[in-house]
Copies of this chain bind each other. A is one copy, B any other.
Amino acid sequence: MQGLMMQMPLMISALLTHAEKNHADTEIVSRTVEGDIHRYTYRDMGRRSRQLANALKHLKVKPGDRVATIAWNGYRHMELYYAVSGSGAIIHTINPRLFPEQLLYIINHAEDGIIFFDLTFTPLIEKIAAQCPKVRAWVAMTDHSHLPPARIENLLCYEDLLDAEKDDYVWPEFDENTAACLCYTSGTTGNPKGVLYSHRSTALHAMAVCMPDVFNMSARSVVLPVVPMFHVNAWGIPYAAPLIGAKLVFPGPALDGASIYQLMEQEKVNYSAGVPTVWLGLLNHLKQHNLKFSTLQYTVIGGSAAPPAMIQSFQEDYGVRVLHAWGMTEMSPLGTLNTPKEKHLSMSKEELFKLSLNQGRTFFGLDLKIVDDDGKSLPRDGQSAGHLLVRGQWVIHDYYKSDGGSPLKDGWFPTGDMATIDPDGYLQITDRSKDVIKSGGEWISSIDLENVAMAHPAVAEAGVIGVHHPKWEERPLLVVVKRAGQDVTREELLKFYEGRIAKWQIPDDVAFVNELPHTATGKISKLQLRQQFKDYQLPG
């Protein structure tokens, strides 16, 4: 027997319609590429998104067509999120930090028909446009007066497109499993692969992340997403914010510590989200100039594990609550987030801090398990480390165009992470499966060793890799970037490990470098680091 409730598909356009009706006057503030601060409301955004949807119709964008963006976090990007998906097409958000050959691969693989870009990327587009045969229009996300004298064929102007349209567009309703957004994984090995989210998966993910034990976002939040809208949809914040009526503050291209800090203070931001590298820059800026946050209350840290020293500094030096999160492009991306349970509230400050260091608990809609090399489930005892598998409402079923065949194992998606889960459901990522250091049949977590090094005051950034060892197969090598104006020796750093980690896990050597290689999403590239040190001779 069927229930007798209304049948309404979960539509991305409904998120915007909700905000327009119930949070019409709530602001969306953007630092623009052109240089000024742009300020409008959900009411304005709704109207302009409908104009844009009319423009897409006149550009002959059909349901299922891919429309790409190469753009910073800003209001026009937000309008594209809603106009493209809302009209039944697919928004493909491209990471501009990829190498040009990867960009070209992605654009041609996705078969993008129209590409919208911020002015920053005009030189890039000039370089690649001729090699994108399927792209029939390039739209500069600016007004007529800022349109660049670019040598790009079929160049259009965003504001000209909107000026030509009325706001009478009516968002269509269709199957909620229709594709809505396309993101490519950064692809440390092989070609990038596309993850194709649906309206349903996006809406359910947005509902889930707003919860008190996840992002805890409400109509009292003023949210500055530093995490880019080209990076797994800024972790879903562009969907979550209209859902609950949060004020949005977009940083545009200015992601340095000084600019972020200035914008946070000016707009009374109380909520932010980003990867550790960005926070490193912000915290350094605060330290150097002896500054404090006036309004910031929460910051989500994800993308890679937050170093304990960073969590401690946010919480103790600046009174900002860190929400430590874990996710993947293939998971929309949220998987877990660290908040305490009621039973933890009577813990000492030290115990609570220790609890806050792991990746946290999962939430309804997602399921986790850890298995051994043979796929056998391991217990949730907080000790047994195994391969982490996930399944759920916002987890990939297959890559776009089935690249590489089905990624699933018995219906579960293998994350490539190693992890433990404790009896309360708290996840601890111990390492990437391929980064773990295999020393004499035992596993050493490269992340654990990096966290110790990061706690040393003279260390700005640290990466640990396994290098070949004649007896133990692999032994850990610590690669360090020193903090500006600080000094530390190999011996001091190795001594720093004593008492902080089992003796046999202490790195065999330290290499000092001026900078570490990073992936397009800001993580340390272990692949490049291993390449760089592949012939390294350990002492003794």
Contact = CB atoms under 8 A, between A and B. Distances in A.
A26 interface: yes
Contacts of A340: 219-220
A332 B2 CA distance: 16
Contact of A342 (B21, B222, B345): B222
A507 to B, nearest CB: 35
Interface stretch (A175-183, A435-443, A491-499): A175-183
A294 interface: no
B244 A212 contact: yes
A35 B367 CA distance: 38
Contacts of A395: 5-6
Contacts of A5: 196-198, 200-201, 332, 393-397
Interface stretch (A203-211, A280-288, A473-481, A530-538): A203-211
Interface stretch (A7-15, A74-82, A101-109, A452-460): A7-15
Which of A1, A197, A218 has its CB near the most chain B CB atoms (within 10 A)?
A1
A159 interface: no
A6 B364 contact: no
Contact of A8 (B3, B207, B393): B393
Contacts of A210: 211-212
A64 B3 CA distance: 10
Which of A2, A180, A217, A341 has its CB near the most chain B CB atoms (within 10 A)?
A341
A23 interface: yes
Interface string A331-342: 010000001111
Interface in A320-357: 332, 339-343, 345
B22 A425 contact: yes
Give the interface size class of chain A.
35 or more
A304 interface: no
A198 B364 contact: no
Secondary structure at the A interface, as helix, strand, loop or mixed, is loop
Given A24-B423, A211-B244, A342-B221, A399 B178 contact: no
Given A341-B219, A342-B219, A243 B2 contact: no
Given A210-B212, A212-B217, A23 B64 contact: no
Given A21-B425, A218-B339, A244-B364, A179 B396 contact: no
A361 B22 contact: yes
Interface in A407-427: 413, 423-425
B219 A6 contact: no
B391 A6 contact: yes
A165 interface: no
Contacts of A180: 3
A4 B179 contact: yes
Nearest to A194: B4
Given A2-B177, A2-B179, A200-B3, A220 B22 contact: no
Interface in A1-57: 1-8, 10, 14-15, 18, 21-26
A213 interface: yes
A188 interface: no
Contacts of A4: 179, 195-196, 198, 396-400
A207 B15 contact: no
Contacts of A64: 1
A96 interface: no
B219 A339 contact: yes
A422 to B, nearest CB: 10
A213 to B, nearest CB: 5
A212 B218 contact: yes
A365 B413 CA distance: 29
Given A177-B2, A207-B207, A364 B400 contact: no
22 contacts: A1-B64, A2-B178, A3-B179, A3-B198, A3-B199, A3-B201, A4-B195, A5-B198, A6-B393, A6-B396, A18-B364, A22-B362, A25-B423, A26-B342, A204-B207, A207-B211, A211-B218, A213-B244, A220-B339, A221-B342, A222-B342, A246-B342
Interface of A: 1-8, 10, 14-15, 18, 21-26, 63-64, 90, 175, 177-180, 195-201, 204, 207-208, 210-213, 216-222, 243-247, 332, 339-343, 345, 361-365, 367, 380, 391-400, 413, 423-425
Report the 8 A-B pairs with minimum CB-CB distance, sorted nearest first.
A3-B198, A22-B425, A212-B218, A1-B64, A5-B201, A219-B341, A4-B196, A3-B179
